[in-house]
Structure 1
Amino acid sequence: MSATTLSRPRHNRMIGGVCAGIAARFGVSAFTVRVLFLLSCLLPGPQFLIYLALWLLLPQEP
């Protein structure tokens, strides 16, 4: 996967691949992005809805 393209990978994914795609895009570990997402869910806001939207809108890696 290219470092300049945001897409959901076919490997290293847990549910939808959104966190793994964000991690690959920014060069951090997928575990770190997943933990940050889970911690952010403790705060008020639309994090879960944003995740669902990204799952639907991000293209899957070819």
Structure 2
Amino acid sequence: MAALVRPSNGRMIGGVCAALARRYNTSASTVRVIFLLSCLLPGPQILLYVLLWALLPSEDKTRTAW
């Protein structure tokens, strides 16, 4: 499985959906649609997105760290 990092290309806002799609081997569009549909339900989805955006390292930063 791929590491959970936000990709440098293919991101729309923060790259969280693209990172999750890469990790679970699905399309980023599918993850984005699922996220948008989940926002119709009560819960902390947007807060979770912002938290993952802050916590997940960017692919650019992980490349330079090695």
TM-score band by shorter chain is: over 0.9
Q: Which runs of 5+ in 1 are unaligned?
A: none
Identity %: 63
TM-score, normalised by the number of residues in structure 2: 0.88
- Equivalences, count: 60
The CA deviation at 1:4 is: 2.9
| Higher share in helix | 2
TM-score (norm: length of structure 1): 0.93
Structure 2, unmatched stretches of 5+, are 61-66
Shift of 1:60: 0.3
Instruction: List, as ranges, runs of 4+ consecutive aligned residues in structure 1 with deviation greater than 4 Å.
Output: none
CA RMSD in angstroms comes to 0.7
Q: Which residue of 1 aligns with 2:47?
A: 49
Amino acid at match of 1:53: L
